[in-house]
Amino acid sequence: MTDIACIVLAAGMGTRMCSQLPKVLHKAAGRTLVGHVVTAANDLGAARICVVVGDGAEAIEAEVKGYAPGADIVVQSPACGTGDAASKAMPALDGFDGTVLVLFGADPLMGQETLGRMTAAVANGARLAVLGFNAVDPSGYGRLLTNGPDHVSGIREHADASEDERAITLCNSGVMAFDAKLLRDLLPKIGNDNAKGEYYLTDIVALANSAGEQVALVTCPEHEIQGVNTRAELAVVEAEFQRRYRHRAMAEGATLIAPETVFLSADTVIGSDVVIEPNVVIGQGVSIGSGSVVRAFCHIENAQIGEGVELGPYARIRPGSRLAHNVKVGNFVEVKNAHLEQGAKVNHLSYVGDARVGEKANVGAGTITCNYDGFFKHHTDIGQGAFIGSNSALVAPVKIGEGAYVGSGSVITRDVEAGALAIARGSQETREGWATRYNQVQSARKQKSAAAGKKKE
C-alpha cells in the first residue's frame, strides 16, 4: 500500500450542540470524537496527520497531540468551506506524494475496512475515490451521480437535484481519498460562486471528471457515516460504539449477562472468561484480567483489575487503583488510588484511598482510610496478612505492620508494629440492671401521661 496522509477537518462551530465545548471534543464511549478519528488514522498507518481547527484551537490541539504527538495543527479562520480547509492543510503535506484521505473530526464511526478500501482504490489506479452510502431517507444529502457501477460522474446537492435525481438513494458522505498531486492541482481551481460564498471540496469531483480523471466509488453502511451535529446524534453514536464494543467483548470470550446495560469505553481491555453482570459502567483506562467477576452496579475508571478478581455488587473503583490477582472488593466499597495486593479482601462498606493493602490482608466492614486533611492527601500502608477490624478509621499517614491486628471500632493515628494488636477506643463500662430499671421508670411515666390525657377529655 502506498503512503497515507490524513487531513481531519475539525473547524466546525457546532452551534447546534448548544455547548461552550468545541463539537469535536464531546465524548462517545469515553473518547473525544476527534480522538476516535485520529485513532482511526493511526490504525490505518498514516504517515502524516493534519488537523484543521477553528475556534477552540488550543484545546483541540492538546487533545489531538495526546493521540498523535507528531500531528500538524492548522487554523482555518474564518471558516470558508471544506475546500478552503483542505487548502490550509496542504503546506503540512509538502513533499508527500502518496494517498491523502480527508476525514471529518465529528464523524467517529468510520471502520478500518472501509478506510482501507478507500486508500486501496487510489493505490490501484483511481486518482480520486468518493465514499457513498445508500440512505434510508436521502433527504438533505447530496446525491452521487454515477457512470457505471464504480465511477462517480458528479455530486448533486439536494436543493439543486431534479425529481429523478432526488429519487437516488446513493448519497455523498463527504469522505474522499486523493492522489496527493491531483489534490494539489485541483484545489486552487475550486471556486466560491455559491449562496454562501464558500469553497466546497465536493466541487473537486466535477473538476476531476472534466480533466478526464477516474473518480472511483466506494460504499459503506449508513451507520458508519453518522456524524455529530446535535446531542441527539451524539447519543446515536454512543449507542453504536456500545453495540460494537459489547459484541467484541463477547466475541473475545467475556460473558455480558445483560449486554444492553453494560457500558464500555473505547480503550477497555477485557480478558477471557470475565463475567460482567447487569448495570456496570466502565470508564476510560480500564483493564480486567481473565476469570474476574464484576457484579451488578459497579463503576470502574482508570484502574487495572487483575485475574480472578471479584468486584461488587455496587463497588466503585476510582482512578489510580490496581487490584492484583484474586482480590475481593465487595458491596458498597470505594477504592481510589490504591494498590490491593494479591488475595487482599475489602468486602463491605469501606473506603480505601491513597493506600496499599498487602497480600492476603483483610479490611473489615465499615473501615475507612482517612487520607485527606483538608489540604493534602496522605498514604496508608497495610501490611501483608494484616487484619483490620470492622468500623475502624486509619488516620493517614499511618502504617499497619505485617500480620498486625486492629481491634474493631478503633481510630488508629500511630503506626502499628508487625504482629501487634492495636486497640484505640473508649473502655467499656457495664452497669448491671440499669436497662431494666430505666425501662420500668419510662414505662410508668408513659402510662401516667396517657391516663392524664384521657382525664382531660
pLDDT of residue 194: 82
Taking only the tens place, the pLDDT of each residue in 132-178 is 999 999 998 999 999 888 899 999 988 888 999 999 999 999 999 99
Q: Which residue has the cell 503546506?
A: 91
Say yes or no: 204 and 267 in one domain. no
Residue where one domain finishes, among candidates 225, 256, 284: 225
| Residue 1 confidence (pLDDT) | 46
304 and 360 in a single domain? The answer is yes
**What number is the average pLDDT over the span 274-290?**
98
Number of neighbours of residue 286 by Cβ within 10 angstroms:
22
pTM over 0.85, yes/no: yes
49 & 132 share domain? yes
Q: Which residues pair with 56 in a beta bridge?
A: 54
User: Considering the domain boundaries, does residue 349 fall inside one?
Assistant: yes
Give the end of a domain, one of 225, 251, 268. 225
Evaluate whether 264 touches 246 at the Cβ level (below 8 Å): yes
Query: Does residue 291 share a domain with residue 242?
Result: yes
> CB-based contacts of 58: which residues, under 8 Å, 6+ apart?
none
C-alpha neighbours within 13 Å on the C-beta side of residue 454 = 6
Q: Are strands 328-331 and 4-10 parallel, antiparallel or unpaired?
A: unpaired
Q: Does 365 reside within a domain?
A: yes
For the record, the C-alpha cell of 277 comes out as 453482570
Question: What residues are paired with 73 via a beta bridge?
Answer: 51
Which pLDDT value is given to residue 13?
78
pLDDT tens-digit map of 186-210: 999 999 988 788 999 999 999 999 9
- CATH code of the domain in which 371 resides: 2.160.10.10
pLDDT at 456 (0 to 100):
74
What would the grid cell of residue 106 be? 465529528
Q: Are residues 247 and 197 in the same domain?
A: no
Query: Which has the higher per-residue pLDDT, 452 or 422?
Result: 422
Tens of pLDDT, residues 420-446: 999 999 888 999 999 999 999 999 999
Q: Return the pLDDT at 219.
A: 96
N-term to C-term CA, the chain: 100
Same domain for 140 and 206? yes
CA-nearest of 26, 231, 21, 13 to 108 is: 26
Q: How many domains does the chain have?
A: 2
Residue 455: inside a domain, yes or no? no
**254 lies in the same domain as 162:** no
Range of the domain at 298: 231-422
Q: 356 has which bridge partners?
A: 339, 381
Same domain, 74 and 8: yes
Final residue before a domain boundary, out of 195, 225, 255: 225
Angle subtended at Cα 154 by Cα 152 and Cα 159, rounded to the nearest 5 degrees: 135
The whole-angstrom separation of Cα 298 and Cα 311 is 7
307: left (phi over 0), alpha (psi -120 to 50) or beta: beta
**Over 90: is that where the pLDDT of 105 sits?**
yes
- Write the CA distances from 43 to 10, 37, 110, 130, 335, integer angstroms: 19, 10, 12, 21, 34
Query: pLDDT for 106-140, tens place per residue?
Result: 999 999 999 999 999 999 999 999 999 999 999 98
* pLDDT at residue 454 in the model: 78
Residue-wise pLDDT for 225-280, tens only, equals: 999 999 999 999 999 999 999 999 999 999 999 999 999 999 999 999 999 999 99
Of these residues, 151, 158, 348, 378, which one is catalytic? 348
Within 10 angstroms of residue 134's Cβ, the number of other Cβ atoms is 14
Per-residue pLDDT at 452? 82
**pLDDT value of residue 457:** 67
Among 21, 76, 17, 16, CA closest to 51: 76
Residue 290 lies inside a defined structural domain of this protein: yes
240 lies in the same domain as 146: no
Check if 223 is active-site. no
- Distance separating alpha carbons of residues 183 and 300, to the nearest angstrom: 46
**Does the residue 395 lie in any domain?**
yes
Domain containing residue 148: CATH number = 3.90.550.10
